Amino acid sequence: MAIKDKGTEQLIKDTAKRIFFAEGKLHSTTQDIANAAGVSRTLLHYYFRSKDQLINIVFKDAMDELGSRLDNVMDADRPFKEKMENLIDVFVTEAMAFPYQETFLITEINSANSVIYNEYKTAKLKSFLKQIESEMVAGNIETMNPIHFMMNLFSLMAYPLVMSPLYKQFFKLSDKAFKNLIIERKKLICKMIFK
């Protein structure tokens, strides 16, 4: 009942997101979600009509959230390097809380018979790619296809968190030690992508 009273609907959604994005339990049933939320499973149907609907809403939310997170940082009217530092901080912090958000999206896309997911606004992306190119011309970052630059950036931020269960055991790291490594990475990534 604790968090419950911001509304049951929101509670169910948040619980589903926690299970999928934070815990990475992609095979969870409606019963699992209801239990974790401490409500009856029927409520899930009352508010979302079907499991598919709930998944669709969670999916859409995640896509939108991903999009607007990118927007916020790319928009900001600040020097490029500062923007990148900010992006890395925001993104890694979010990824620490919800490491499997993108994994969930990809799995849904791959599993779906036909998913409709949003087109991303081209203008904003193009302008951002241009900025990256300018930085290359200015000699601040290595010259390459700016798409590579973006893929490198996201890879370095996201992948270690996705892999954390394997990395923790492979490198014999405690939760705490692993968390510290990830925090270290914020600066490390910055060093890596700038000359």
Interacting residues toward a copy of itself by CB under 8 A: 23-28, 100, 102-103, 105-107, 109-111, 117, 119-120, 122, 125, 142, 144-145, 147-148, 151-152, 154-156, 158-160, 162-163, 165-167, 169-173, 181, 184-185, 188, 191-192
CB of 13 to a copy of itself, least distance (A): 20
Helix (H), strand (E), coil (C) string for the chain: CCHHHHCHHHHHHHHHHHHHHHCCCCCCCHHHHHHHHCCCHHHHHHHHCCHHHHHHHHHHHHHHHHHHHHHHHHHCCCCHHHHHHHHHHHHHHHHHHCCCHHHHHHHHHHHCCCCCCCCCCHHHHHHHHHHHHHHHHCCCCCCCCHHHHHHHHHHHHHHHHHCHHHHHHHCCCCHHHHHHHHHHHHHHHHHHHCC
Q: Of 3, 10, 31, 134, which one interacts with DNA (CB under 7 A)? A: 31
49-108 positions binding DNA, by CB under 7 A: 49-52
Q: Of 19, 39, 58, 63, which one interacts with DNA (CB under 7 A)? A: 39
Nearer Cβ to DNA (39/87): 39
Closest listed residue to residue 91, CA positions, set 107, 57, 68: 68
CB of 118 to DNA, least distance (A): 24
Choose the binding region for DNA from 24-32, 66-74, 117-125, 181-189 (rule: CB under 7 A): 24-32
CB of 77 to DNA, least distance (A): 42
Cα–Cα dist 24/100, whole Å: 6
Cα–Cα dist 175/181, whole Å: 10
**Is position 145 an interface residue for DNA (rule: CB under 7 A)?**
no
Nearer Cβ to a copy of itself (8/107): 107
Cα–Cα dist 115/25, whole Å: 21
| Residue 103 site contact among DNA, a copy of itself, none (CB < 5 to 8 Å, cut-off depends on kind) | a copy of itself
CB of 50 to DNA, least distance (A): 3
Residues within the interface to DNA (CB under 7 A): 8, 29-31, 39-43, 45-46, 49-52
